């Protein structure tokens, strides 16, 4: 299978992860013109499963290092399988709430609040389970990002006040999503032998099989989580499976593309964890908060008309996010 050979390459892959994780939400925004997020989300999940299978049968099955995809699946222990599945279930619960928040409050609010909190808590959780990197530099970087999140929250509050509308439901959904999302990576990482992708411990997973099992956990849990939300949506009237199958091919394709984008970023993050460690790989990938905020501010104009004070808060938010991410990168070089 293909594996990452150096820390610098791992950092490069996590930057791609950041771009993927911060950009998939654009497909939801595009689909939202004619398509409810609950229906979009089914195609998104299908896209993730498709990518996990294709990558496992291609990159996960070439070369002489590690075990091939099918060989690895056959030897997985029940503990590794369940750990990856639980990670998928936790992620799905959090990501559905994040998608709901995007549909209510927009990308520039949902991502910095929800994913930003997931970054902060997730780095702590993953570092405690698998310490790697300079903890002082790492957590100073995390602290800067936490301040950036606070600035985003203040800016969001000012926008809600100026527009005389309440986005409190979207904000609360993002906060809950962030807390849940901080735990999913830990379970997937536990299913893999992060110290030896070249010759993994018997019973443990390679990144490709861990990602595939993780995606199955997402798919299975979606029949529960998304069905409930379809019947009892946060906003609007209930939707049905008949509505889903009545969608056009182009509409379904947008959702699948969203899943493919997010899935590629996730697989690269799992691969990078072998050289960078779970905490750094996860933390850098969750710099997606900044990417999504850029989309929300400059493309979707979600803070249009906010005035000088809001623009100043957004400027400092981006500055602090970038500074924090740089420190997280540097922490792995020590």
pLDDT for position 290: 79
Q: Is 301 exposed, middle or buried (0-12, 13-18, 19+ CB in 10 A)?
A: exposed
Distances 115 to 44, 239, 285 between C-alpha atoms, Å: 18, 27, 10
pLDDT for position 83: 97
Question: What are 56's two structure tokens?
Answer: 């496992």
Residues 43, 254 contacting (CB under 8 angstroms): yes
pTM over 0.75: yes
Question: What are 102's two structure tokens?
Answer: 């995007």
Residues 153, 113 contacting (CB under 8 angstroms): yes
Model pLDDT for residues 261-319, shown as the tens digit of each residue: 999 999 999 999 999 988 889 888 888 777 877 888 887 887 777 788 888 988 998 89
Model pLDDT for residues 185-228, shown as the tens digit of each residue: 999 999 999 988 888 899 999 999 999 999 999 999 999 999 99
Mean residue pLDDT of the chain comes to 89
DSSP β-bridge partners for residue 205: 192
First to last CA, the chain: 28
Residue 96: φ, ψ to 5°: -65, -40
Residues 4, 274 contacting (CB under 8 angstroms): yes
**Residue count (the chain):** 334
DSSP β-bridge partners for residue 169: none
Is residue 334 over pLDDT 70? no
pLDDT for position 47: 98
pLDDT for position 93: 96
Q: Reduce the DSSP state of residue 286 to 3 states and report it.
A: coil
Residue 235's CB is within 10 A of a number of other CB atoms, namely: 11
Model pLDDT for residues 154-178, shown as the tens digit of each residue: 887 777 655 544 467 888 898 999 9
Model pLDDT for residues 63-108, shown as the tens digit of each residue: 888 899 999 999 999 999 999 999 999 999 999 998 888 888 777 6
């Amino acid at each position: 299978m293909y594996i990452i050979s150096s820390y610098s390459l791992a950092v490069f892959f996590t930057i791609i992860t950041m771009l993927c994780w911060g950009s998939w939400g654009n497909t939801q925004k595009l689909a939202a013109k004619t398509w409810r997020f609950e229906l979009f989300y089914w195609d998104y999940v299908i896209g993730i499963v498709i990518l996990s299978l294709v990558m496992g049968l291609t990159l996960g099955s070439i070369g002489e290092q590690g075990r091939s995809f099918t060989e690895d699946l056959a030897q997985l222990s029940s503990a590794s399988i369940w750990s990856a599945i639980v990670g998928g279930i936790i992620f799905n619960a959090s990501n559905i709430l994040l998608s709901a928040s995007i549909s209510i409050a927009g990308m520039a609010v949902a991502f910095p609040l929800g994913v930003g909190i997931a970054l902060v808590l997730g780095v702590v959780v993953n570092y405690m389970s698998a310490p790697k990197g300079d903890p002082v530099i790492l957590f100073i970087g995390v602290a800067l990002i936490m301040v950036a999140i606070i600035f985003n929250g203040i800016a969001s509050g000012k926008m809600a006040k100026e527009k005389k509308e309440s986005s409190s439901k979207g904000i609360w959904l993002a906060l809950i999503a962030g807390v849940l999302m901080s735990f999913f990576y830990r379970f997937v990482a536990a299913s893999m032998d992060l110290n030896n992708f070249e010759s993994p411990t018997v019973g443990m997973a390679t990144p490709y099989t861990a990602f595939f099992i993780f995606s199955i956990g997402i798919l299975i849990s979606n029949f529960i989580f998304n069905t409930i939300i379809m019947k009892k949506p946060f906003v609007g009237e209930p939707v049905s499976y008949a509505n889903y199958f009545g969608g056009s091919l182009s509409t379904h394709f947008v959702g699948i593309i969203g899943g493919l984008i997010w899935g590629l970023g996730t697989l690269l993050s799992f691969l990078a964890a072998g050289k960078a460690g779970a905490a750094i790989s996860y933390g850098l990938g969750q710099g997606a908060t900044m990417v999504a905020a850029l989309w929300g501010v400059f493309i979707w104009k979600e803070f249009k008309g906010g005035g000088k004070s809001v623009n100043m808060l957004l400027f400092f938010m981006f500055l602090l996010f970038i500074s924090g991410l740089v420190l997280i990168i540097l922490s792995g070089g020590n």
